Amino acid sequence: MPATVYVLNGPNLNLLGLREPDIYGHDTLDDIAGMLEDRAAALDLTIDMRQSNHEGHLIDWLHEAQAYDAKAVLLNAGGFTHTSIAIHDAIKSVKTPVIEVHLSNPHAREPFRHESYVGRAAKGTIAGFGAQSYLLALEAAARF
C-alpha distances in Å from residue 92, one per residue of 42, 95, 102: 30, 8, 19
Q: Which of 6, 24, 117, 134 is catalytic?
A: 24
Catalytic residue among 6, 88, 102, 117: 102
**Distance (Å, whole) CA 47 – CA 22:** 27
User: Can 102 be counted among the known catalytic residues?
Assistant: yes
Rounded distance, CA 138 to CA 42, Å?
11
User: Quick check: is 57 catalytic?
Assistant: no
Residues 6+ apart with CB under 8 A from 50: 6, 7, 8, 9, 57, 61
Phi/psi at 54 (5° precision): -115, 125
Which positions are annotated as active-site residues? 24, 102
